[in-house]
Amino acid sequence: PGIYEVTVTDANGCIDTDEVTIENIGGPTVDAGDDDEICAGESTSLTATTTDGTAPISITWMPGNLSGATITVSPDATTTYTVTATDANGCVATDEVVVTVNPNPTVSVEDIAICAGADGTLTAVAGAGTPGYTYEWSTGATSASITVSPGSTTSYSVTVTDSKGCTASASATVTVNPNPTAAITGVDATCGDDNGSATASATGGMAPYSYEWNTGATTAMISGLTPGIYEVTETDAKGCI
């Protein structure tokens, strides 16, 4: 940049002068924006802002050779993006922005079975991602473990959020097994002898059934009984009583 002067002399020694001013036309500047963080599998938008330079200004992003002031990216791993702004005079400016990809957490919860009227506990086990997990169950509970007592077989879901805001979900089914129904048929003792008997039967639940009398006997029928009250607890194959 500056002022440049030229003097012209002809064959007769006549002269003339002239001058020209050369100015510096500045190139563009470009700002790729702030670094960003996303969770694995998500997308984010990057926007470049240009100032100065001579229009029109073209913008190109790498990697990907993408054009435009705003682009949408979904990298699989942490990636540095470089934006290049080129103005009409061929002047170039560049800037970089880093998109950090945070891993998602994992969560698992096992199915359980309970007997009708009983409680069951579901426990969410979180891992991976960035520790500092929070939990949200479909019941509204926010603890890692919940106690439930559904009236019928029910599925429950849980969403885990890590300290970076990344999430994972899982579900489990609580199977409600029906309880068996017990019945006893008794035969009274006679003639003052210990000759009474009692026979237990079960319906519902799931066979086979086991029996436990208040006498300690474990058979369906007990005999040689004296007059009195006899109780039996029946347990089915699922452990329901």
Tell me the pLDDT tens digit for each residue of 178-220: 999 999 999 999 998 999 999 999 999 999 999 999 999 999 9
Q: Average pLDDT in the 106-135 region?
A: 97
Distance, in Å, from the CA atom of 50 to the CA atom of 94, rounded to the nearest integer, reads 10
**CA–CA separation, 145 and 10 (whole Å):** 101
Which tens digits make up the pLDDT trace of 54-70?
Answer: 999 999 999 999 999 99
Q: Ramachandran region of residue 204, left (φ > 0), alpha (ψ -120 to 50) or beta?
A: left
pLDDT score recorded for residue 20 = 86
Q: Please report, rounded to a whole number, the percentage of residues in the chain having pLDDT higher than 70.
A: 100
In contact, 46 and 32? CB cutoff 8 Å: yes
Measure the CA dihedral 65/66/72/77, to 10°.
0
Q: According to the model, what pLDDT value does residue 1 have?
A: 73
Report the DSSP pairing between strands 92-102 and 36-39.
parallel
Give the amino acid at 11. Answer: A
Q: How far apart are CA 223 and CA 213, in angstroms?
A: 12
- Residue 159 pLDDT: 98
DSSP 8-state assignment for residue 65: T
Closest CA to 69 of 36, 30, 100: 30
Q: Rounded to whole angstroms, how far apart are CA atoms 211 and 123?
A: 33
pLDDT at 24 over 80: no
141 pLDDT higher than 80: yes
What's residue 32's pLDDT?
98
Average pLDDT, the chain: 96
* Structure tokens, 199: 């026979």
Cα 146 vs. chain centroid, distance in angstroms? 18
Residue 21 has pLDDT above 90, yes or no: no
pLDDT for residue 33? 97
Q: What is the pLDDT of residue 2?
A: 86
Please tell me the distance from the alpha carbon of residue 220 to that of residue 210, in angstroms, as a whole number: 8
Beta-strand relationship, 210-213 and 232-235: antiparallel
The whole-angstrom separation of Cα 222 and Cα 184 is: 11
**Whether residue 173 has pLDDT greater than 80:** yes
Answer yes or no: are the C-beta atoms of 137 and 156 closer than 8 Å.
yes
Backbone angles phi and psi of 2, in degrees to 5? 155, -175
pLDDT band at 25 (very low <50, low <70, confident <90, very high): confident
Contact status, residue 66 vs residue 93, Cβ threshold 8 Å: no
Dig out the tokens for 140 from the structure: 């509204």
Give the residue from 74, 4, 85 showing the smallest Cα distance to 39: 74
pTM over 0.85: no
